[in-house]
Amino acid sequence: MLDEILERELSSEEQQNIPLSEIEKTINSLMKIRFRYSDDLHKKEIKTYEEIADSIFEIRLSKYLENGTKGKGFDEFLFTLLDKMKDFFISLSTGNLIISNGRILCKIVKNIEIEKIQLSKGDLVFLDPLKALSLWTAEYITLCKIVDKVITNESSQDD
């Protein structure tokens, strides 16, 4: 269960591989408890597991931040997302994004509707940072960046 995963994480400097098959056993057990019971005892049990899961996340995150390596397993996608967030933060805070009035210039790479406006591949749009990060992560847009004083697009192969 989660306590065993927590123990393995605590006993190693590297992130441990947590296969989805291993975590699914815990997920299924806890889902059954959540659906079947609503008494205080079971709520406390769920709360305890949530605290253990929080600890596992914090430990894995700190290992990722300290040594930059990502573990393999069911949560690998989180570290891919963190890499993108880190890149976004660095680009934003070092003036590598084109910004106007607090909004970031982005190029649409997949047709999408934003705020009731239909946008097509190739369109340019200014988005607030949260929306830009979300859509960039979901691969609907690319961020327009400034590189060597020339305005370029993050991924030229998308042109």
Number of structural domains found in the chain: 2
Helix, strand, coil percentages (3-state) for the chain, rounded to 5, are 55, 20, 25
Does the residue 121 lie in any domain?
Answer: yes
Question: In the predicted model, is pLDDT for residue 60 greater than 60?
Answer: yes
My answer on whether 69 and 84 are in the same domain is no
Shared domain for 66 and 125, answered yes or no, is no
Q: For residue 107, give every residue at least 6 positions away whose Cβ sits within 8 Å of its Cβ, in sequence order, or none.
A: 122, 123, 124, 141, 142, 144, 153, 158
pLDDT digits (tens, 9 = 90+) for 20-55: 999 998 899 999 999 999 999 999 999 999 999 999
Residue 69 pLDDT: 76
- Rounded to two decimals, the pTM is 0.79
Two tokens, residue 14:
């590297």
Same structural domain, 36 and 62: yes
Q: Note whether 48 and 96 are same-domain residues.
A: no
25 and 51 both lie in a single domain: yes
Going 105 to 111 to 115 to 118, the CA torsion angle's sign is positive
Boundaries of domain holding 36 = 2-73
End-of-domain residue from the set 55, 73, 91 = 73
- List, for residues 87-138, the tens digit of each pLDDT value: 999 999 999 999 999 999 999 999 999 999 999 999 999 999 999 999 999 9
